[in-house]
Amino acid sequence: MTISLRHRAAWVVLGGAVGLVLAALLGLSVAELIVLTVLGAVAVALAVAVNSYLRHSADPEAQPEDGYPVAANSRNGNPPR
């Protein structure tokens, strides 16, 4: 199952919202509130990026065949001859 860009963006916004709510509950100043909101969004963005990277690296069909690097102009991923 792949995560669409729209869902990834929604997760990042949700992370920012969680940071915003947490900052509001802690009664932080405006600057601290902004920092915690951004940190929440960054944490979720990093988690999504790592998850996507690990998923792609574990997919044998996404890897080059026979150890040849995939050419930039290759559409089907077969090594140039």
**Which pLDDT score, from 0 to 100, does residue 67 have?**
58
Two tokens at 52?
A: 């996507």
All residues at 6 or more sequence positions from 18 whose CB lies less than 8 Å from its CB, including other chains: 40
pLDDT tens figures, 15-49? 778 878 887 888 878 888 788 878 888 888 888 88
- Residue 3 banded pLDDT, cuts 50, 70, 90: low
**Which pLDDT score, from 0 to 100, does residue 61 have?**
66
Element (H, E) at 56: helix 30-57
pTM score of the predicted model: 0.52
